[in-house]
Amino acid sequence: MPPQTTATQKSSQKLPANPGETITKLVAGIGNIILGKGDIIRLALSCLLARGHLLIEDLPGMGKTTLAQGLARALGLEFQRIQFTSDLLPADIIGVSIYEREAQTFRFHPGPVFSQVVLADEINRATPRAQSALLEAMEERQVTVEGTTHAVPEPFFVIATQNPSNQTGTFELPESQLDRFLMCVHMGYPDHHAERALLTGGDRREQLASIRPLLTPAELVALQARIPNVHASAALVDYVQALLRFSREAPGFRLGLSPRAGLGLLRCAQAWALIDGRNHVLPEDVQAVLPSVAGHRLQGAEDSTQISQQELLARLRAVPIP
């Protein structure tokens, strides 16, 4: 397919001089702000490189906003935050057309969604209507307002956070909406040393401001375009398929992983491999991203012995590598 080839060639021209080193620096740079969470940073970066969106499920105050801001700054991207509340309206997200008397026309004032990195905070506190406005933008990468289509900027990366669903006043995201997030991660508490460094260290806000961009947006797009070309051998694809098949056939799983989940798993593994400085994917890469990519899409079968997601993941993790 000639057009695609040209696109790849074009983007490869914009690749950073040394992608491996750049990525290492990126991880290190963000790691200075979010302490002791190297894996989460790498996962978030994989998700971004695989052109997916990230859902972070955790309690307030765990560093979700800092992570999003740190990513945006290190990648040289613009950043917007939307605090979701129960009275949030779709227009508050995508923007409104306002009549301008001088020009005698309606002019579209883009909402916060028109940003390269969007932090959608506490997404499950808004009504489903508001949620779906964001989710459509995520999936389509464009917003249609009164017949006019507005493309969101490139790259476009949504980080949504979600409170544990057992808290009051939440609208749980339905499975179909959850599926739109490529990954779902849990930040978790920092370990002893990280927490110590956090408590004795300087002001986060100042440190955040001190991060200088390591990539141009164009270079990031070029990196994203490289992900599908990271070599996934037949044996590796066999493994991914074995995982998908297991989730569909083994007892205990209510729903198998969707083809979209399968593709996402492969892309994330490819991104992970690239971050790891390799140009081919290993089963270990798949295993590294598996909990984040598959976890939120799995549900235990409905019977008396409810199986937790952790248990289902453990079973998937035990699938033999062909």
Binding residues (CB under 8 A) for other proteins: these are: 231, 233, 235-236, 250-252, 279-284, 287, 315, 317-322
Are residues 72 and 158 in contact, defined by beta-carbon separation less than 8 angstroms?
no
Nearer to other proteins, 126 or 286 (CB): 286
Nearer to other proteins, 213 or 252 (CB): 252
Any bridge partners for residue 55, and if so which?
A: 160, 184
CA pair distance 118, 156, nearest whole angstrom? 8
Sign of CA dihedral 212, 201, 203, 161: positive
Amino acid present at 227: I
Nearer to other proteins, 66 or 270 (CB): 270
Sign of CA dihedral 296, 56, 131, 151: negative
Shortest Cβ 317–other proteins spacing (Å): 6
Shortest Cβ 318–other proteins spacing (Å): 5
Task: Return the SS3 of 143.
Answer: strand
Nearer to other proteins, 172 or 303 (CB): 303
Shortest Cβ 226–other proteins spacing (Å): 15
Shortest Cβ 25–other proteins spacing (Å): 23
DSSP state of 221: H
Give the pair of three-digit tokens for residue 47.
Answer: 């998700």
CA pair distance 89, 64, nearest whole angstrom? 23
Nearer to other proteins, 251 or 259 (CB): 251
Q: What share of the chain is helix, strand, coil (3-state, %, to 5)?
A: 50, 15, 35
Shortest Cβ 279–other proteins spacing (Å): 8
CA pair distance 257, 219, nearest whole angstrom? 32
Nearer to other proteins, 217 or 252 (CB): 252
Contacts of 96 by beta carbon, 8 Å cutoff, 6+ apart: 108, 109, 111, 145
Shortest Cβ 266–other proteins spacing (Å): 13
Task: Name which of 254, 290, 252 is nearest 175 in CA terms.
Answer: 254
Nearer to other proteins, 141 or 278 (CB): 278
Nearer to other proteins, 39 or 78 (CB): 39
Q: How many residues does the chain have?
A: 322
Shortest Cβ 29–other proteins spacing (Å): 26
Residue 124: left if φ>0, alpha if ψ -120 to 50, beta else—which one?
Answer: alpha
Contacts of 14 by beta carbon, 8 Å cutoff, 6+ apart: 216, 218, 219, 221, 222
Shortest Cβ 270–other proteins spacing (Å): 12
